[in-house]
Amino acid sequence: MKLEQQTINGIEIRIAENTDQASAVTAELIAEQIRQEPRSVLGLATGGTPMETYRRLIQMNQAGNVSFAEVTTFNLDEYIGLSPDHPQSYRAFMNANLFQHIDIDLQKTHVPSGIAVDIASECKSYESKIRSAGGIDLQLLGLGHNGHIAFNEPGSPGESRTLQVDLTAETIEKNSRFFESIDQVPRHAITMGIATILESRRIVLLALGESKADAVARMLRGLITSSHPASELRNHPAVTVVLDRESASKLGSTELSPKS
Ligand code: GLP
């Protein structure tokens, strides 16, 4: 596999030839973490981006190359108002795209509850569950087109902890592809905060496709600013960014369009 490696502003970048290879690299980073520490605590992401990574982890698990038997997981976020069995809930996504197919103990998988009566106390309890598990060893992240990580939209404070957020019109529109109509997309979510994410011991961010190229360039080469939350990852000492050629296509340019 042809893989280009470089460091930009202190962040290790791996650029793969295509989406499949980038997903293979990401799956291998996660599998290595588990092989080194079978009781690893993983932070997991949803969305289109990690689906192929999960498919590869399922294959590795079924081939006996990695076991999730002692792994604990915490997902980044959940839509408010969707029950765990709603097909578009992130809990349902995780069950369908990973958990159901691997040897993980479902009791050790955590996704915030989008139907908790008291959302503020659900957020607090999620933070304390992460703490009691010993913190997150490896956090997998996707990247929003507007630079969001998890559901921390532009403008989110860097010191935030798991919290309720309002989704931007752009995110609602982008995520409407998973729903029958845009009206069905929840307007609010629970998300790990930026500070929660930055406390992970290691972070692997995967971004795929041309549509993410601007967000990737701003994350790595733009200002570190809360208006592009992913840029705050540059304050973390152990981040690996995995890209395909297309998402890396704007890294060469020093000029970043102000609106990208
Ligand atoms: C969603 C999720 C994020 C995800 C991002 C990108 O709204 N909350 O965790 O990283 O948007 O999604 P996708 O991978 O589908 O492009």
* Tens of pLDDT, residues 153-199: 999 999 999 999 999 999 999 999 999 999 999 999 999 999 999 99
Residue 259 has pLDDT above 60, yes or no: no
Burial class (CB in 10 A: 0-12, 13-18, 19+), 131: exposed
Q: CA–CA separation, 135 vs 74, rounded Å?
A: 10
Long-range contacts: 7-13, Cβ < 8 Å, 24+? 8/220, 8/221, 8/251, 9/220, 9/221, 9/234, 10/234, 11/220, 11/233, 11/234, 11/239, 11/240, 11/241, 12/239, 12/240, 12/241, 13/220, 13/240, 13/241, 13/242, 13/243, 13/248, 13/251
Q: Which atom of ligand 1 is nearest to the CA of 189?
A: 8
Q: Is 259 part of any domain?
A: no
Ligand 1 mean position to 239 CA, how many Å?
A: 18
Q: Residue 103: name the closest of 51, 67, 133, 60 by CA.
A: 67
Calculate what percentage of the chain has a pLDDT beyond 70: 97
Pocket flag, ligand 1, residue 43 (CB < 6 Å) = no
Q: Is 255 part of any domain?
A: no
Q: Residue 34: name the closest of 76, 75, 3, 72 by CA.
A: 72
How many other C-beta atoms are found inside a 10 Å radius of the C-beta of residue 73?
22
Q: Is 251 part of any domain?
A: no
* Residue 258 pLDDT: 44
64: left (phi over 0), alpha (psi -120 to 50) or beta: left
Confidence of residue 93 (pLDDT cuts 50, 70, 90): very high
- 232, 168 in Cβ contact below 8 A? no
Confidence of residue 65 (pLDDT cuts 50, 70, 90): very high
Q: CA–CA separation, 249 vs 15, rounded Å?
A: 10
Q: Is 254 part of any domain?
A: no
Pocket flag, ligand 1, residue 47 (CB < 6 Å) = yes
Residues 6 or more apart whose CB falls under 8 angstroms from that of 102 comprise: 57, 58, 61, 62, 68
Q: Is 58 part of any domain?
A: yes
Catalytic residues: 77, 146, 148, 153
- 141, 206 in Cβ contact below 8 A? yes
* Residue 249 pLDDT: 97
Q: Average pLDDT, stretch 98-127?
A: 98
Nearest CA to ligand 1 atom 4: 142
Structure tokens at 204: 């692997």
Residue 260 has pLDDT above 50, yes or no: no
Q: What are phi and psi for residue 212, nearest 5 degrees? A: -100, 0
Give the range of the structural domain holding residue 200, as residue numbers without chain letter.
Answer: 3-239
Pocket flag, ligand 1, residue 151 (CB < 6 Å) = yes
Q: Average pLDDT, stretch 129-146?
A: 98
Q: Average pLDDT, stretch 124-128?
A: 98
Structure letter (DSSP) for residue 161: -
Ligand 1 mean position to 50 CA, how many Å?
A: 9
Q: Is 246 part of any domain?
A: no
* Residue 2 pLDDT: 81
Pocket flag, ligand 1, residue 79 (CB < 6 Å) = no
Q: Is 197 part of any domain?
A: yes
Q: Which atom of ligand 1 is nearest to the CA of 50?
A: 14
pTM of the model: 0.95
* Residue 105 pLDDT: 98
pLDDT tens per residue across span 192-210: 999 999 999 999 999 999 9
- 219, 228 in Cβ contact below 8 A? yes
Residue 248 has pLDDT above 70, yes or no: yes
Q: Is 93 part of any domain?
A: yes
Number of domains in the chain: 1
Confidence of residue 253 (pLDDT cuts 50, 70, 90): low
∠ at Cα 211 (205, 217), nearest 5°?
A: 55
Residue 43 has pLDDT above 70, yes or no: yes
CATH number of the CATH domain containing 63: 3.40.50.1360
